[in-house]
Amino acid sequence: MTAKIIPVPKSVKNNLTGQRFGRWTVLGYTGAVSGKSTWLCQCECGRKGVVQGSQLTGGHSLSCGCRRSENMAFLKHGRSRTPEHNAWKAMNRRCYTPTNAQYPNYGGRGIKVCQRWRDSFDAFYADMGPRPSGEHSLDRIDNDGDYEPGNCRWATRVEQGNNRRTNRPITCKGQTRTVSEWAAITGLSEEVILYRLKSGWTADRALTEPLRPSRR
């Protein structure tokens, strides 16, 4: 019998309804057990279950158990704890575990993992192949794009450094430089330059218009 969803009381400060935690999607509030809120969740595989809120927000419950079954399959394949498997797990945590330290720059920015890779490490490994060396790690070619075939590669730190958003080339008055270089020349911060460009400013205006003095 499926647990009944009830209105979230005012005493519950964090309404998790609609949020995703790993493969769980929270459908609604079901009450409290021993003072801890519980939530009806649906896993990507279709199964439903009641999970404590602290288990979700703490990253301790990420699926109905199907994820663990897949991980057991990886163990049989002999690829558990390999660099490739660790990269696959870290990729998913960055995108789907809000408590992960890197989540704000990935899942918090809307970066996702394609369904093919989320569902299967084998698919990820088939597309990416073995890591070339200990100097390589998983990198997205388009830093605003998702983790998916065609947008990922194994890259060295130097290659990844050259692929940072602040290394975006900008041409102004016949000179082409990166955002970080223009910031050093103009005295504007990289964040200001990127915000202006994202807001539709031309490169000339973004790099030459002085900041307005703040009002106090």
pLDDT, tens digit (0-9, with 9 covering 90-100), for 194-204: 888 888 899 99
pLDDT at position 162 is: 59
User: Tens digits of per-residue pLDDT, 59-91?
Assistant: 888 888 776 655 555 555 556 678 999 999 999
Q: Which two tokens stand for residue 171?
A: 């041409």
Q: Which of 17, 43, 64 is the last residue of a domain?
A: 64
The answer to whether position 215 is within a domain reads no
Domains of the chain: total: 3
Angle formed by the axes of helices 190-198 and 179-186, nearest 10°:
120
User: In angstroms, rounded to a whole number, what is the distance separating the alpha carbons of residues 139 and 157?
Assistant: 9
User: In angstroms, rounded to a whole number, what is the distance separating the alpha carbons of residues 157 and 32?
Assistant: 47
Domain that holds residue 132: 66-161
The answer to whether position 216 is within a domain reads no
The answer to whether position 213 is within a domain reads no
Has this prediction a pTM greater than 0.85? Answer: no
Residues 71 and 145 in one domain: yes
Over 60: is that where the pLDDT of 1 sits? Answer: no
The answer to whether position 214 is within a domain reads no
Cα within 13 Å of Cα(96), Cβ side: 25
Percent of the residues in the chain that have a pLDDT greater than 90, as a whole number:
27
User: Tens digits of per-residue pLDDT, 143-190?
Assistant: 888 999 888 889 887 667 656 655 677 888 888 887 878 888 888 887
Residues 78 and 151 in one domain: yes
The answer to whether position 92 is within a domain reads yes
